[in-house]
Every structure is written in C-alpha cells, then in structure tokens.
Amino acid sequence: MNKVERNVRLKMKPGTAVLIIVSVMVGFILSRLTTSLPGRLESAKLSENNSVDVSPTIEKLLKTHKLLQRCKSDTRELDFLKEGGEYFADYKNPRTLNDKIGYILQNYFQKSPVTSHIGNKYLAKKYIAQRVGKDHVVKLLAVWDNPSDIEWNILPDRFVLKTVRGHFGKQVIPVKDKSKINVAAILQQLEEFCETPGMKRITEKRIMAEEYLEPTDGTKAVTDYKFFCSFGKVFFAYCLAVDDGDTCDMYRKSFSFYSVPAWKRLPITLANHDENLIPRPKHLSQMITLAEKLSKPFPLIRIDLYEVGDRVLVGEITEDSGGAKYIFSPVIWDFKLGEMINVPTLEELEKIIENDKKEYGEEEIATSTDASTPESYICLQKV
C-alpha cells in the first residue's frame, strides 16, 4: 500500500466507513452504467438516433445518493458522478485534484474580484502583460462589443475569433482563409455563443480577433501546455495535441499528464480521450518561470502556454480547470495529484480575498467597459 492509499484510508472516520464504501460502490456502478455499451444495458431504451438512454438507470441510482445525503440535485458533485466519477466529490474536505479545484473555485474565485480580470480573455491580456511582459501575450488584432460590429476588412487572411468568456476550448472560431468564410454563418454562431450562459458570469458580448498561431514543427496545430500551479510553484502539466488543425473541439484532442521539470509522462488516462507523447518543449525552463510568475497570487490555478518557434505565449489563465470533473484512470492518481497541492483554509482564503478587494476594488468588473478600445492596453495592437 503506497502513501497516498494509506492516507486516504486513515483519514476515514470509523463511524462512516460503511457509508463511504457503499457510496464509492454506487459511484463506481454509476460510472460504468453511464459509459457501458447498449448491449450491456438491458433495461435501457434506444432514442431516435440509436443512442442509449440511461436516464432511468441514473435516476434510480441517484435516489440512493439522496438517501445517503451525499449528492443533491443541480450540483457539481452530481455532474461529476454523471461524468463517470468513482467517488463522491468533497469540496469541504478536499482530498483529490478535482476536490481542490472545486474547493478553491467555490471559496475563492467565485468571491474574489480578481476573477473578473483573469477570467475575461480580453482583460486577462493586461494582467499577463503586467506580470511577464507583452512579448508573451497573443497579439490582439481587434475587439468589438458585439458580433455585428466586426470589421472584416481590417482582418488579415488568417485569424482566430473568440468570445471573451469562452471556456473548455469552446467559443473559438479559427479562420485559415478569410476569402472562403461564410460571414453570415459565423455571425450566427457568435450570437449563439454570446447568448449561452457563461460559467464565468461574464454577460457582455465582446468578440476578439487574435493572431493565428502557426506551428513551426510540421504539426497541424500548436500544442497546448497546461501547468498546474499554487502560489508560484509548478507541480505538473498536461498537454493537448490537436488532431485536426481546423477545429478547437476539446473532444478531438489527445491528453496526457507530465511531471515537471523531468517531463516524464505519468501513467494516467482520461475518460474518452486518447493519450499522446509530447517531446520535452524546447523552452520548458522559460515556461516554468512564466507559470511561476503568473500563478504567484493564486492558491490553485492553471497556466496555459504555447511554444511557437522561439516564442512562448500565454494562452489563458484558468481558475476552473476541467470543471473539476477530470475522470482519471486509475482513480488513485486523482488522490496523488491532489496530495501534491496544499490548499489554504477558509480563514486564509478570506484574508486573500480581502487583499484582492484592496487591489482590485470591492465590485467585480466582469462586464466592465473601462477599456473599450485596444489602444488603452499597452499589450494590444491593432492591424
């Protein structure tokens, strides 16, 4: 029995051992039922498109969860189980990586005004430039308050359109050839993006156009290096490799975790995703330094970086990594990665939030229009 497994068992209170064992078993069964093939779900019904409807089975199991008072409706804990989680998420006494992401999100990022600065992809550029310099900011070509305001004539042949509140690789439209695009279709898509409720509570409809990042190593798209950090310390990374340069769909990427700085692939797979074997990046040392500087104020954050030739660029700063719903196999790695990171107590987080209010103001500015033109930021450049 390794250290992590022993600690997980020792931390269980004797009076709740049976409850936890039953809970884990139910979560395990749920994960298998939600991912099983049609032939293995004899009681499941087929929908019109021949997909399996497992909702009756899930509902039946959720009654057990409710009786155990461990899972309520419309919660992240419930979402985690539906995704295939094999244990009950616990954001009050976090143990796993998922637990700690959810704990910090609920008790820090959802309460601190700093979230409006780093969660908004437009405003985040200012934070990045101030912390590590404008050379590490992906070039902004233009920004508009609404999709209908886009000035297509000022854009180059290749560019990327993004909403300021996109997440999980969504709400991104790469354009490789402006002469071949359907403007009406893109505008409709952007309007749909802007009407979709945002996870980051950003209500504005702002659209950005950024430079199109071209890979220099012969691959179809640049690799996304994601570093998990806490208060300026980098713990590990995971990499996304795109299998199709024309898409930003998260489900068409391969995922693998790597130790830092050794850059050894960890024996982890994520549900429904392929693995990759990404070579050690040429500028790993610089990447670690950038991640350290950008993450210094935060108890748990993910810093996303790109390596484009000799440039290292910051993709984004992510406070809700994976939505706290990474489905690890084997699941013990959720505990191992979580054990690496010590999160502050609620009292300590309250002090950090008070300091954030002094620096950023009492009110969140997620919908701020203080900087309505790119020229107001030193890091932003129009074509």
Residues 6+ apart with CB under 8 A from 345: none
Q: Answer yes or no: is 381 within a domain.
A: no
Q: Rounded to 5 degrees, what are φ and ψ at 360? A: -110, -5
Q: Are residues 239 and 253 in the same domain?
A: yes
Q: Are residues 305 and 230 in the same domain?
A: yes
Q: What is the CATH number of the domain that holds 145?
A: 3.30.1490
Q: Answer yes or no: is 293 within a domain.
A: yes
Q: Answer yes or no: is 105 within a domain.
A: no
Q: Are residues 239 and 322 in the same domain?
A: yes
Q: What is the CATH number of the domain that holds 273?
A: 3.30.470
Residues 6+ apart with CB under 8 A from 354: none
Segment 188-193 long-range contacts (CB within 8 Å, at least 24 positions apart)? 190/147, 190/161, 190/163, 191/147, 193/163, 193/166
Q: Answer yes or no: is 271 within a domain.
A: yes
pLDDT of residue 252: 59
Angle between helices 3-10 and 332-340 (to 10 degrees): 90
3-state secondary structure of 194: helix
Domain boundary among 25, 58, 89: 89
Q: What is the DSSP letter of 265?
A: B
Locate 16 and state its tokens: 């709740």
Q: Answer yes or no: is 232 within a domain.
A: yes
Residues 6+ apart with CB under 8 A from 233: 292, 295
Closest CA to 258 of 240, 238, 277: 238
Q: Are residues 205 and 229 in the same domain?
A: no
Q: Are residues 253 and 352 in the same domain?
A: yes
What pTM value is reported for the model? 0.76
Q: Answer yes or no: is 109 within a domain.
A: no
Residues 6+ apart with CB under 8 A from 106: 91
Dump the DSSP string for 342-359. Answer: PPPPHHHHHHHHHHHHHH
Q: How far is it, in rounded angstroms, from Cα 270 to Cα 344?
A: 27
CA angle 269, 271, 272 (to 5 degrees): 115
Task: Tell me the mean pLDDT per 10 residues along the chain, length 383.
Answer: 48 47 51 36 34 49 53 73 82 94 95 89 93 96 91 94 71 89 91 66 76 81 92 95 56 83 94 86 97 97 95 93 91 95 97 94 48 33 35
Q: Are residues 160 and 272 in the same domain?
A: no
Range of the domain at 146: 137-215+366-376
> What is the total count of domains within the chain?
3
Contact 243, 236 (CB under 8 A): no
Q: How far is it, in rounded angstroms, from Cα 103 to Cα 131?
A: 26
Q: Answer yes or no: is 73 within a domain.
A: yes
Cα Rg of the chain, angstroms: 22
Bond preceding residue 197 cis, omega within 30 of 0: no
Q: Are residues 371 and 356 in the same domain?
A: no
Q: Are residues 189 and 288 in the same domain?
A: no
Q: Answer yes or no: is 351 within a domain.
A: yes
Q: Rounded to 5 degrees, what are φ and ψ at 342? A: -95, 120
